[in-house]
Structure 1
Amino acid sequence: MPATRRTTQDNLGAVMARLRRPLSLTWAGLIAERLVRAFWPVWSLIAAGAAMLMLGLHDIAPVEVVWSALMLGGLALVGFAGWGAMRFRFPRRAEALARLDAAMPGRPLAALADSQAIGAGDGGSETLWRAHQARMALRAAAARAVEPDLRLSRQDPFGLRYIALLGLVMALIFGSVWRAGSVAEMMPGATPGAALAQGPTWEGWIEPPSYTGLPSLYLADQRELIRAPVGSRVTLRFYGEVGALSLVETVSGRTGDAPEATDTEQRFEIAGNGDLRIDGPGGQSWQVEAIPDAPPQVRVMRDGLKTTFDGQMSQPFEAHDDYGIVGGSAVFALDPGQVDRRHGLTVDPEPREPITLDLPLPLAGNRAAFIETLIENLSEHPWAHLPVTLELRVADAAGQEGVSEAVQMTLPARRFFNPMAAAVIEQRRDLLWSRENAGRVAQVLRAVSYLPTEGLFRSEAAYLRLRVILRQLEAMTDDDGLSGPERDEVAQALWDLGILLEDGDIGDALARMRAAQERLSEAMRNGATEDEIARLMQELRDATQDYLRQKMQQAQRDDPQNGDQQSAENMMRMTQQDLQDMMDRIQELMEQGRFAEAQQALEEFQQMMENMQVTQGGSQQGQSPGQQAMEGLADTLRQQQGLSDQAFRDLQEQFNPGARSGQSQGNEGRSGGDGRGQSHDGQQGQGGGEGGAQPGAEGQQQAEDGQGAEGSLADRQEALRRELERQRQGLPQLGGEAGEAAREALERAGRAMEGAEEALRGDDLAGAIDNQAEAMDALREGMRNMGEALAEQQNPGGQGDAQGPAGQAQTDPLGRDAGQGRQAGTQDNLLQGADVYRRARDLLDEIRRRSGEGERPDVELDYLRRLLERF
């Protein structure tokens, strides 16, 4: 034998000695793989049959069906076993060796079994061959057993084996192995002796009602004492000779309808305490303690009743039950004994059903004990502000009902402070009390509306509406009497009229706001709780919003020529958002315990609301050309701010899609964002245009077309630049250094706008933002210099007050108080209070936060750093 071949055999033998264990495991896995693939229907059928027997399905099926199923199952089992035996091939050791070799790179075992075919006898070739054999031997030494492939997805595409295994697991959990033995009694030729040989057995369990959420109790595992809820269902089954086992129980309370004690199946419910005993071989006894289901309880929390200014009631209540409440209702019933039977209430009332409202229940969590709040507005009900009794009723799953103690109260509803509104609502109540009051209601309404004094009706529309309702009521009464639907129609009209009269009275709104302010101030002085202060703060917010709304309506009534709602909103020198910010500041100070500062801020807020005036806007008669030019430049500055905001948002979207960084509460620009100041779509920029549009309305129209939602950002920037050029050419003659500085600053602003336009057309958003910032700085400088020049023209000596009507301080076009000396105005009405500093601080913190996020684009980070360097 050649030396190379002998060496190969030696290497292979040594390697095979080391691979004995992984080769044996691979061979065993190959055997298991072929067994599973050949016989999986057999064990699946066995698992399905065992599951059905352990679940006791044969006990509820007819005997014929059981026989047929057993025969078919047996035939199927034999058939699948034969089919598997035909398919099964016992693997040879060579097959295991081939699988182990195939799992390694280069098939080292096959390489070790090879012999050198070329170059035998050549020293170099033999050396190379030995090196190759050594490398293959190293690879073979690292062999690991190959895992068998036991997947059966191709043989069982419908997952029948999993269904059988699932049934077997469910049977092991919920079934019993003893049930399978009873199938022998159903086989043909079975004798009672077979059952007797096994002896009598029993099984039983107790199932509590489903709403309790308690688990079932298996009797064989229970001790002498069993505690179960009332209504639990007991199930017992006796196996073996009939009569060998019997039941004795005193827990169900059954008498005449009870079945025989020796019946093979017993079912009853636990009604009370007693004993449960099984007599016979293997019997057992228990003492049963029945847990009663207590009725639910509910309680009205009298101290928590709240009523908002519009009549919305919030009544908290507390309810609890041992297992949980499933429903409830609140019933308001009229208390006739407490009603003051005077005026329209002297007649007997028409019968009405009690008010029934569904109680709110927790959407999630435990309903065994909870506190909820019933919220409803009953202001339009005929019993509003009349004595009623409130009862809460709750029910549990067992059908038991709990009723709270009747609480006497006045039905919460909206209060009307306007005398005429209160009278109308009172007559509406009398009409709903009884239709017999229809004639009296008509007389009273005619009396109170006869020759009304000035101020009784806020508008002619309210007076005319009352007269129409009055005629309609009298006409209906003169006919065949007032029917139910007609009465309800008139009542609804009276309610709408009362709301119109009440909400249209700004004096009452101011009184409510003052009262809310006084209550909040008193609560802070007396050290009220946080909940009380929060409630009073919310009342102040609601009253302030109502007062502002009334103030706006008064402005529209007093200035009918400027009745546009948007213009009326623009006339407010202090916006509603500014007031909300101030109230937020007050609440923040109170939450921090700084009550002295909160009290001072509240006093400033009171004085501010008292002195707030609605100025007439839209008309610019009496303004000088310089003032008109200042307003036009101010509008241009706001539009440029909006364009800059839009450019910044586009930059954010370009490098961070989906980001809406520009939508901040501090954004008050125009035509570019969601700021909280003026409209961002050019709705409020007409003033500036009109101010300078007298010489050339065409340019203003062009500017307006440019700021609309249509067109690109570059086109809008171009239109704004042209508008600035038109305004610059139409400036009044201004002398002195201030006038020259104003013109130079506006020229710089125009050049910066032109640079921003070019950058926008070149998609250089960062450069456009820089140019826009430069344009806004130049505009501000030009307006400041122009204001100084106008002040020099009006007061050349630099002394004295600005021109204006006697006894009235002159204001500049921006609405600021007149400045001293050569100053055109002050910043008092533009930047006030700590809210401004807080807003600036928040913006600066946001810029710092974003500048520290390294994942943002470089161009954005550069822009943020420039902002930090500037501010």
Structure 2
Amino acid sequence: MRHLQLPVAATRAGMIAEEVVRSFWPLWTVIFLILAPLMMGWQDLVPLEVFWGGAVVSVIATLAALIWGARRFRIPTKAEAVARVDAALPGRPIAAIADSQAIGSGDAASEAVWRTHMARMAERTKDARAIEPDLRVSDRDPYGLRFVALLFFVTALLFGSLLRVGSVAEIAAGGEQTLATGPVWEGWVEPPAYTGRPSIYLNDVPAGLLRVPEGSQITLRLYGEVGALTVAETVSGRVEELGAASDAQQEFTITQSGVLSVVGENGVEWNIVAIEDMPPEVDLTGEIEADAMGELSQPFSASDDYGVESGTATIALDLTAVDRVHGLVIDPDPVEPLVLDLPMPFTGDRSEFEEFLIENLSEHPLANLPVTLQLEVTDAAGQTGATDPEPLILPGRRFFQPFARAVIEQRRDLMWSKANMRRVSQILRAVSHRPEGLFSNETTYLRLRTIIRRLDNFRDVGLTDEGQAEIVEALWDLAIQLEDGRLADARERLRRAQERLAEAMRNGASDEEIAELMQELREATDEYMRMLAQEAEPNDGTDQADNSGNSQQMSMDELQALMDRIEELMQEGRMAEAQELMEQLNQMMENMRVTQGEGGDGPQTPGQQSMQDLAETLRDQEQLSDDAFRDLQEQFNPGQGQQRQQDQPGQQGQQGQGQQPGQPQGQQGQQPGQPGQGGQQGQGQGVGEDSQSGQVGNGAGGEGDQDARSLADRQRALREELQRQRDGLPNLDGEAGDIARRSLERAEGAMEGAEDALRDGDLPEAIDRQAEAMDALRNGMRELGRALAQNQQAEPGQGSEQGQASGRPVPGQRDPLGREMGNTGQLGTDQQLLGREEINRRAEELLGEIRRRSAEQDRPQVERDYLRRLLDQF
């Protein structure tokens, strides 16, 4: 049947291909393995003996593979092809039409049925199609040797040349073939890797102009009789290392434009143009900016033809521009220039980009001093580009409180030169001589006194680098405490922010001014809430019944929502409504009271209980330090303590009841001549210095020793209580928890030292140790709060104490991007939008984009403030 000829023939051809592949796959595997090293030119590199040994092995392997395949190869017959096609059809119609009727011959009905059956089978044969061959040999090659050979062959095609196989005939003919066909050559140009350009095979490049990057490596190989081909070039600039022009292999680097030629039969010549690698460029694209906390932002741009690799910013002291007054009169100690790494793009092309150098150098010795800023970038070739030194004042944190500014100035002078140590000590001592009105509480005074004592200790032995760093850090902490202040300072800052905003409402302000004033109000409110929480007394629940009827609770989120509404009304010009809401906010802040917990009814967590216990211990330690400080004053002014006893007749003999905690010294002055001890007081005042000292030692000695023992017992009780609290701390993971434990352990050690000093009657030493204990306690409480937040163990009330209350969701509240609040009451979304493998990459990209947008001056101030708040969180 003619319609079966084509399917059967195609199927038979496929079956032959199957036999060829299955029988001769070892043959082409061996051939590929032999051709790969020949195309790479290995035969020209190995010794002649190795070459002939490999040739014998190759011939044996080829013959063995050929014989193995020939013994297994069999040409399929036509009948086998027909059977394969027939097997693919339903009912095997081809075999059916070849059958003959076995029974029923001569019966007309049976013969009619048979003819109908034959017609149906013949019709089915028309659906016959060629069967695809099965060329898989996985069962015969389980180790994939054919793919290994194919990989070698493809690699040789990419990095080698088929022309190299011809050298096998030259080696076999012993040079006679070379003389017959003439000399040949090969050459490559490999550009530097950092350019990203591919290698060039010179045999495929026609003569003429050829542009390659400077620094490219040229390799030329000459085959044939020595001297038949020579190389001439003027691109390397070689003088001393210039070899013979007829060397079989030559390598040199392109350092300049020139001519490269292969002289001789089949020679060629190129005019090489060396593309110069330009040095990178960097520029300052804007003025340096800084916020009130001292974080600087310097925009810059960099570019290079192949990409910038790295960059640095060098900040050096500009001594000629320094105003040499006060502590800056003497020559400074050597200050190494500050070198900062410039931020580079995480992804994308580095050939041209813009970035921001963002750092906070407020605590650096060069802060607020004239400096020069120089940026320098480097490319992969080691070339550098730099800006001209830019003179500027290195931004630092701004201090507005006069005493804090004075402390920072002394800190600057001490960092300027160690020789200023005596001057700094004298100035600080003069400031602390009359502390009335300068210190909001005794704690800051005690910290200053501790610093002065440390300076006095270094006066005899000399100020070491470690001692200088210690005192500099202590002065910084003191200035921060003086600047930020306690609750009264925070309330005053809040009042000033409210007054400025009210003035802006009356006079009309731009959107930028409104945004700036609202940001100041938010910061003042947060600080006031934080201070209020720290100063709040523990809630024992005794006043719940009185306040439950007329009190109103408001979370931090609701408070922020109210301020957002005020800002929105001001921007819309609805000043009357904004003023009304502002009055409501002011009244709320006046009556503000921080509660412990959500309504005060829920049970406290272990972390919250620890924070409350430590706060009570800190208050007790402050009270004890105040009492010790008053006793120290009484030694130099005996009548002061007696006058307090007269003012409080019911409290005589009780230590520490003459002054409330936090009351400044000097507000309890006695009037001479008051009844009771007035005569003794007058007598004491009329006696000279030696007599007065004698009176203090003899007349008040017994009572002073008894009071000292009482203070020592109180100090021991506080130390034991702190030890109990430290043993009962919750198990917190992370660095913050470890720092909190170490701080509390340091506080316990300082308390023990204060106890020993009290028992020995050394009140100044005891006060110093108590100041160290209070500093360590504060640091431990701060780090404990961070650890609780990280471990999600803090309750809403505790979060309010830290100024980070979660609060309740406000209906309709949106974040600055217009997104609805999540289910947990937080702004944003609760869904996991990215897979784990994408989070780090996306975070880096988003952080870079936020930095870029926050520095664009054409964006609205509100948007830039929001972006900077995001950067502060990261």
TM-score under structure 2 normalisation? 0.64
1:372-418 C-alpha deviation (Å, 9 max, x unpaired): 11111111111110000011111111111111110001111111112
- Counterparts of 1:115 and 1:467, CA distance in 2: 125
Distance 1:29 1:466, change over 3 A: same
1:671-694 C-alpha deviation (Å, 9 max, x unpaired): xxxxxxxx9xxx41446x9xxxxx
Equivalent of residue 214 in structure 1, options 197, 222, 236? 197
Aligned to 1:613: 589
- Counterparts of 1:353 and 1:526, CA distance in 2: 45
CA contact (8 A) 2:12 2:76 kept: yes
Report 1:251-650 matches (<5 A): 251-303=235-287, 305-454=288-437, 456-477=438-459, 479-504=460-485, 505-506=489-490, 509-510=493-494, 533=512, 543-556=520-533, 559-562=536-539, 575-581=555-561, 596-597=572-573, 612-615=588-591, 617=593
Matched, 1:168 2:153: yes
Q: Secondary structure at the match of 1:449?
A: helix
- Counterparts of 1:26 and 1:524, CA distance in 2: 93
- Counterparts of 1:232 and 1:223, CA distance in 2: 18
Report 1:613-692 matches (<5 A): 613-615=589-591, 617=593, 683-686=597-600
CA contact (8 A) 1:205 1:217 kept: yes
Distance 1:223 1:393, change over 3 A: same
- Counterparts of 2:192 and 2:278, CA distance in 1: 14
CA contact (8 A) 1:587 1:598 kept: no
The Cα shift of 1:546 comes to 2.9
Q: Secondary structure at the match of 1:138?
A: helix
CA contact (8 A) 2:280 2:384 kept: yes
1:286-332 C-alpha deviation (Å, 9 max, x unpaired): 222222212111112342x2212322111111111111111111110
CA contact (8 A) 1:54 1:177 kept: yes
The Cα shift of 1:133 comes to 2.7
- Counterparts of 1:831 and 1:191, CA distance in 2: 92
- Counterparts of 1:523 and 1:357, CA distance in 2: 45
The Cα shift of 1:572 comes to 8.9
Report 1:86-235 matches (<5 A): 86-187=71-172, 190-220=173-203, 221-235=205-219
Q: What fraction of aligned residue pairs are identical, expressed as a percent?
A: 47
- Counterparts of 1:182 and 1:158, CA distance in 2: 33
CA contact (8 A) 1:329 1:392 kept: yes
- Counterparts of 2:283 and 2:819, CA distance in 1: 49
Q: Secondary structure at the match of 1:341?
A: coil
Q: Secondary structure at the match of 1:146?
A: coil
Q: Secondary structure at the match of 2:237?
A: coil
Q: Secondary structure at the match of 2:25?
A: helix
Distance 1:843 1:169, change over 3 A: closer
Distance 1:485 1:234, change over 3 A: same
The Cα shift of 1:124 comes to 4.3
The Cα shift of 1:346 comes to 1.6
The Cα shift of 1:46 comes to 1.1
Distance 1:415 1:843, change over 3 A: closer
The Cα shift of 1:251 comes to 1.1
Distance 1:394 1:253, change over 3 A: same
1:223-269 C-alpha deviation (Å, 9 max, x unpaired): 41122221111111222222111111111111132111111222111
The Cα shift of 1:523 comes to 14
- Counterparts of 2:394 and 2:77, CA distance in 1: 94
1:498-538 C-alpha deviation (Å, 9 max, x unpaired): 222222232674488579969999999668xxxxx5xx788
CA contact (8 A) 1:562 1:618 kept: no
Aligned to 1:38: 23
Aligned to 1:777: none
CA contact (8 A) 1:307 1:412 kept: yes
Q: Secondary structure at the match of 1:360?
A: coil
The Cα shift of 1:578 comes to 3.6
CA contact (8 A) 1:432 1:487 kept: yes
1:199-225 C-alpha deviation (Å, 9 max, x unpaired): 122222222111111222333424411
Aligned to 1:771: none
CA contact (8 A) 1:294 1:321 kept: yes
The Cα shift of 1:47 comes to 1.9
- Counterparts of 1:523 and 1:74, CA distance in 2: 101
Distance 1:501 1:144, change over 3 A: same
CA contact (8 A) 1:325 1:395 kept: yes
Aligned residue type for 2:528: K
Distance 1:62 1:470, change over 3 A: same
- Counterparts of 1:313 and 1:563, CA distance in 2: 46
- Counterparts of 1:516 and 1:49, CA distance in 2: 88
Q: Secondary structure at the match of 1:371?
A: strand
- Counterparts of 1:398 and 1:196, CA distance in 2: 45
CA contact (8 A) 1:559 1:616 kept: no
- Counterparts of 1:840 and 1:237, CA distance in 2: 69
Aligned to 1:813: none
CA contact (8 A) 1:417 1:508 kept: no
Q: Secondary structure at the match of 2:76?
A: coil
Aligned residue type for 2:93: P
- Counterparts of 1:840 and 1:278, CA distance in 2: 71
Aligned residues: 610
Q: Secondary structure at the match of 2:433?
A: coil
- Counterparts of 1:572 and 1:446, CA distance in 2: 49
Aligned to 1:623: none
- Counterparts of 1:208 and 1:836, CA distance in 2: 56
CA contact (8 A) 2:207 2:268 kept: no
Higher relative contact order, chain-length normalized (CA < 8 Å, sep 6+): 2
- Counterparts of 1:294 and 1:838, CA distance in 2: 45
The Cα shift of 1:563 comes to 10
The Cα shift of 1:842 comes to 6.6
Q: Secondary structure at the match of 2:523?
A: helix
Distance 1:539 1:94, change over 3 A: farther
Aligned residue type for 1:576: M
1:587-646 C-alpha deviation (Å, 9 max, x unpaired): 889xxxx95448888777766665551535489xxxxxxxxxxxxxxxxxxxxxxxxxxx
Matched, 1:60 2:51: no
Aligned residues: CA RMSD: 3.8
- Counterparts of 1:841 and 1:251, CA distance in 2: 64
What residue ranges of structure 1 are gaps of 5+ in the alignment? 1-15, 528-532, 620-678, 690-700, 706-829, 845-871
